[in-house]
Amino acid sequence: MERSRLYESYYILNIDLTDEELKKSILDLKRRFDDLSIGIRKFEEIGIKNLAYAVKEHKQGYFICVEFRATADELLELERYCRIKDDILKYCVLKKYNRRAN
């Protein structure tokens, strides 16, 4: 049995979408986590922020932060989903480590 790990990910969505399309895109992302049976610990919509550099000719994006537990296979499938979605400009997944107090 594969071990699940704790991850934190950031998604930058295209802000050229209408409000309804943006809400649908966020809901689709949440559904993808549910479809893969990935346990979301935190789902935070940060909002519109300026980008440090243009991404696909966009200077701003709608940021989302998600903390979740997933196996390696689930993570690969989630990343595949992010690569094919046109409304996700960029994403980043970071593995979180537990710090133990001495």
SS3 of residue 17 by DSSP: coil
Residue 6 placed within a domain = no
Whole-model pTM: value is 0.87
Note whether residue 44 is domain-resident: yes
Which of 67, 85, 66 is CA-nearest to residue 77? 85
Mean pLDDT value of segment 60-86: 94
Q: Judge whether 76 lies within some domain.
A: yes
Asked if residue 61 is part of any domain, the answer here is yes
The letter for the amino acid at 43 is F
Q: Which domain holds residue 51?
A: 13-95
Supply the pLDDT for residue 3. Answer: 83
Q: CA angle, corner 35, sides to 32 and 40, nearest 5?
A: 70
Report the number of distinct structural domains present in the chain. Answer: 1
Confidence tier at 1 by pLDDT (50, 70, 90):
low
> 55 in a domain, yes or no?
yes
Phi, psi at residue 34, to the nearest 5°? Answer: -65, -45
Question: CA–CA separation, 92 vs 59, rounded Å?
Answer: 18
| CATH assignment at residue 69 | 3.30.70.60
Whether 1 is covered by a domain: the verdict is no
Average pLDDT over residues 53-77: 93
